[in-house]
Homo-oligomer: A and B are copies of this chain.
Amino acid sequence: MAEISLRRARTIIRKTLDHGKAAGMKPLSVIVLDSGGNPIAFERSDGASPGRYQIAHGKAYGAVMLGMPGSAQMKRAEDQAYFIACANGALGGALVPVPGGVLVRDGKGRLLGAVGVTGDTSDNDAAAAKAGIEAAGLEAEV
């Protein structure tokens, strides 16, 4: 397996949204990016604010382009703010370096892409992404 199929991306999104609902989270939005940083699928829950595509995208895009999940990006931003600010500039201003940008790997550890979740607290967003990825039989690096 070297790519996330659309079928599997749908499963990730549904299971992420199910996790959020079951846990009483606010309405979530979820994107799945491929290993090149390009969108495969996105869904925004009813009631979520209109800018959620950009936030979900930014979380996942930074994760896959830098090979660092949101938690690691956030730590780097806290340790060395100008690095993340400048990496953001170099990558077109799209990054959202907080938890909820989660790397997706197959069983052999190969990077397949990333999932970005937004809508509740960053940690809850990341937990929902992890649940969705694992429900699809893949491995999550939060």
B81 touches A96 (CB 8 A): no
- Count of this chain's copies in the oligomeric assembly: 4
CB distance from A88 to the nearest CB of B (A): 6
CB distance from A1 to the nearest CB of B (A): 10
B83 touches A87 (CB 8 A): no
CB of A102 within 8 Å of the partner chain? no
CB distance from A3 to the nearest CB of B (A): 7
A6 touches B46 (CB 8 A): yes
Assuming A49-B111, A67-B49, A111-B49, is B44 touching A41 (CB within 8 A)? Answer: yes
Interface residues of A in 34-48 (CB under 8 A from B): 34-46, 48
Contact residue among B49, B53, B80, B94 (Cβ-Cβ distance under 8 Å from A39): B53
Contact residue among B41, B51, B83, B111 (Cβ-Cβ distance under 8 Å from A42): B41
List the B residue with the shortest CB-CB distance to A113: B36
B80 touches A82 (CB 8 A): no
Assuming A37-B51, A95-B89, is B84 touching A6 (CB within 8 A)? Answer: no
